[in-house]
Amino acid sequence: GDSVTQMEGPVTLSEEAFLTINCTYTATGYPSLFWYVQYPGEGLQLLLKATKADDKGSNKGFEATYRKETTSFHLEKGSVQVSDSAVYFCALSDMDSNYQLIWGAGTKLIIKP
């Protein structure tokens, strides 16, 4: 079945550092790919998404490109801030999963001033 694998955390960076959180997926169909973020004490928020190969999702300085050839959707940000500290979840959905979200395990990001 469909699955999502993302890098284990926590990831600890200094402010203004470059961020990459890796995400790879397996799917039989043509999934849509998502990054969700969970700030401390809050719910899950959609950060960005991409619905087809080579699409780039972007929001709040974060970007991720849908790479079908490597089945990846890595999250990047050029210069992180303390306020980016959160848990980041990669997820996919497709017709095979009835558009239910299939989630990665989450990656905790800690940004130090």
What is the contact surface with other proteins in residues (CB under 8 A)? 32, 36, 41-46, 49, 51, 89, 91, 93-94, 98-101, 103-106
- Extended beta strands in the chain, E state: 3-6, 11-14, 19-21, 23-26, 32-38, 44-50, 56-59, 62-65, 75-77, 86-93, 102-103, 107-112
Closer CB to other proteins, residue 42 or residue 69?
Answer: 42
Residue closer to other proteins by CB (options 14, 45) is: 45
| Least Å from the CB of residue 67 to other proteins | 18
Q: What are phi and psi of 49, to 5 degrees?
A: -150, 165
* Min separation Cβ 28 and other proteins, Å: 16
Q: Which is nearer to other proteins, 36 or 62 (CB)?
A: 36
Q: Which residue has the tokens 């990846």?
A: 72
Closest to 96 in 3D by CA, of 9, 3, 16: 3
Nearer to other proteins, 74 or 93 (CB): 93
Question: To the nearest whole angstrom, how small is the minimum distance from the Cβ of residue 45 to other proteins?
Answer: 7
Q: How far is the CB of 58 from other proteins (least distance, A)?
A: 15
The closest alpha carbon to 31, from 59, 73, 60, 84, belongs to 73
